[in-house]
Amino acid sequence: MKFIKPQMSIIKKSKIHLYTNPIVGIVYWSRLKGVFNYLKKKRCGLTLEIGCKYGFFLPSLCQISDKVIGSDIGSTFDSCEKITLKEIQKRYANLELKKADARRLSNYIDESSCDVIVAISVLEHIDDHNGAIKEIRQCLKPDGIFVCVLPSENWLYKLARILVGCRGYCHKHYDLERLQANLRKNFREVKKWNCPFGIPLFFTGIYERK
C-alpha cells in the first residue's frame, strides 16, 4: 500500500497556493506520509479524521480502513464539502463526511467506537484543547490510537513561515509542551517523531487510550 496524493485538479480547487508550493509541499505531504506509514501496519476498522478540511488525507486513510469519517467544524466543513470533499467521497465507498466539533465530539460520534482518530494541525487552533482531548479519548475504543500532529512554534518554524510568505501568524493560547503534557495525562504515548525528515518543524505523537 502506498500513500495516495490527491489529484492536482482537486488540490488546486482549494485555491491555497501553499499546497502547490514545492517547498511547502515537501513539508506538508511528509507529515501525512509519516502518519500513513505508521498506520498502514495495521488494518483499521473505523478511522475518524477531525479537522479534515479539504480532505487531502482521506484517500490514504480509506485504503487502510474499513470505514473512514472525515469531519470538520461549521462553516469550514460546509465550504470544503462543496469545494473538494464531495468529489473525494464519490471515489471512496467507505468514506462518510460529517460536520462535527471536536470539543463536543461525543455528540456526533458514538462513544468507544473509533479504532483510530487522526488530528493533523487541529488542536493548536482550539482554545479548550483539554475538553477536545477528553472527547477524543471518549470516542476511542479501549487501546484505540490517537494520532496528533502539531506545529513546533520554535524559531525554525517561525522562520520557515516567513520564508514562504506567511508573515505575522501565530496560534493564540498555544503551548506545545503544555499540550503534550495534557496528551500524556490522558493517553499512553506510544511513539513520537519530528517532521519533515526529523527536522523539528512539526511534532507527531502516537497515543493509545489507557
Q: What tens digit of pLDDT does each residue of 119-135 get?
A: 999 999 998 889 999 99
Indicate the pLDDT class of residue 65, thresholds 50, 70 and 90. Answer: very high
Answer yes or no: are the C-beta atoms of 99 and 93 closer than 8 Å. Answer: no
What is the C-alpha radius of gyration for the chain, rounded to an integer number of angstroms? Answer: 16
- Domain range annotation of the chain: 8-209
How do residues 95-116 score in pLDDT, each as one tens digit? 999 999 999 999 999 999 999 9
**CATH annotation of 8-209:** 3.40.50.150
Orientation of helix 176-186 relative to helix 129-139, angle to 10°: 30
Please report, to the nearest 10 degrees, the dihedral formed by the alpha carbons of residues 140, 39, 160, 51 taken in order.
-40
Report d(CA 43, CA 61) in Å as an integer. 10
Residue spans of beta strands (DSSP E) within 53-100: 65-72, 95-99
Return the bridge partners of 99, or none: 72
Assigned C-alpha cell, 47: 478511522
How do residues 140-152 score in pLDDT, each as one tens digit? 999 999 999 999 9
Report d(CA 93, CA 147) in Å as an integer. 24
Report d(CA 163, CA 144) in Å as an integer. 38
Answer yes or no: are the C-beta atoms of 196 and 29 closer than 8 Å. Answer: no
